[in-house]
Amino acid sequence: MTKDLHTPDNESLIEFPCDFKLKAMGKKSDDFIDIVYDIAVKHAPETPRENISINNSSGQKFISVNVVVYVTCIEQIHGIYGDLKKHPEVLMTL
């Protein structure tokens, strides 16, 4: 399910520019953090690697990667989530 980031009169619910925290979840692997970060940087190039935080699932099989990106428009957010959803290793996004 995708949340609409606009009001009924098509105004954005997010005030730009701003820091935006995105989350992607997948199976734990050595590459998953880089996959999520590389997609974020493609759309928000100024994102420092220090803006990443990770959480492992209780069984250590899955990982969630959070990245705080600085965005200036809704298209950046749509681009990041669009690319994340297309990637075969990304199981879920929030």
CATH number for position 74: 3.30.70.260
Within-domain flag for 74: yes
pLDDT, tens digit, 9 for 90 and up, residues 5-54: 555 665 678 999 999 999 999 999 989 999 999 999 999 999 999 999 99
Predicted pLDDT of residue 2: 41
* Domains in the chain, number: 1
Within-domain flag for 4: no
**pTM for this one?**
0.86
Q: What is the mean pLDDT of residues 53-70?
A: 96
Within-domain flag for 12: no
Distance CA 73, CA 88 (A): 26
Within-domain flag for 34: yes
Predicted pLDDT of residue 1: 37
Supply φ then ψ for residue 88, to 5 degrees.
-65, -20
CA atoms lying within 13 Å on the CB side of residue 92: 7
Within-domain flag for 15: no
Predicted pLDDT of residue 84: 98
Distance CA 81, CA 92 (A): 10
Instruction: Starting at the earlier edge strand, list the strands of the sheet with 90-93.
Output: 52-56, 62-71, 18-27, 90-93
